[in-house]
Amino acid sequence: MQDDPVTIERRPRHILVTGASRGIGRTIAGRFVASGDTVTVLARSHDGAEKVCAELGAAAAVAADVTDASALEEALGMAAKRSGPIHILVNNAGGAETAPVSRLDVDQLRRMMALNVEPVLTAIRSVLPPMKERGVGRIVTIASTAGLKGYPYVGAYCAAKHAVVGLTRALALELAPTGITVNAVCPGYTDTDRVSGSLDRLEQKTGRARADLLAEFTGANPLGRLIRPDEVADCVHWLAGAGASAITGQAITVAGGEL
């Protein structure tokens, strides 16, 4: 069955966003709440999920460690019971570890895969049956420019995000006849507390001026600045709409022309 553009726009749509307690995920959740959608926020801790749910006015909050497949599946099932089948899944949860190649080991690579790749597959598999039954659905995963190029000292993270992009492209081809689109959004360095924390640590470790460190972070971006979380959220929101019905298997870069 082919995707009906009207169906995907019909409210109330149920959107679930993982890693929604802060940063890009929180902004994405807020963008969908503002457009009148039914939003479930998923965070690692129950308190964190409930807090952001109350702040945004989201419909519901669920908690799970996304690296625990059983816990993630249970949380997704609970969300569907509370607010109905999930129409749009946004896989945002993830994280990075740094290490030079001399200290990069298989354990770090496995941790990065367990955090950034495995939960994406687990969540997608959980939401697919009702999406297929309806003949419509949207899956958007927040990857990174690190899924399209290399960066020094984050080899395991780059490998994981490249895997996410590859998984997106493969599943998009497989699911295209079902009316479900699968895409990745790849932000560059974004103005979040995670990047701010990285700058704090580098400032303490190196003694260099924060402005100089920030200039290095933004040096590859022709706009010369960090990406704003709302710019990423707007891209995700568009992919969830009827106007993006023919967009699938893409890794859309939100990076000011870096790539």
Class of domain 5-190+227-254: alpha beta
The pLDDT confidence band at residue 41, using thresholds 50, 70 and 90, is: very high
Residue type, 185: V
| Residue 3 reports pLDDT greater than 60 | no
Tell me the pLDDT tens digit for each residue of 107-164. 999 999 999 999 999 999 999 999 999 999 999 999 999 999 999 999 999 999 999 9
Which are the contacts of 115, defined by CB distance < 8 A and separation ≥ 6? Answer: 66, 67, 93, 94, 95, 160
pLDDT at 213: 81
Closest Cα to residue 194, out of 217, 216, 177, 173? 217
Is residue 256 within 8 Å of residue 51, measured between CB atoms? no
Choosing from 151, 153, 157, 189, which is the catalytic residue? 157
Closest Cα to residue 76, out of 122, 31, 139? 122
pLDDT at 93: 97
Domain ranges of the chain: 5-190+227-254
Q: Which two tokens stand for residue 206?
A: 């190196």
Q: Is the dihedral of CA 133, 185, 72, 11 positive or negative?
A: negative
Tell me the pLDDT tens digit for each residue of 187-208. 999 988 787 778 788 888 889 9
Residue type, 58: A
Is residue 165 within 8 Å of residue 124, measured between CB atoms? no
153 is catalytic: no
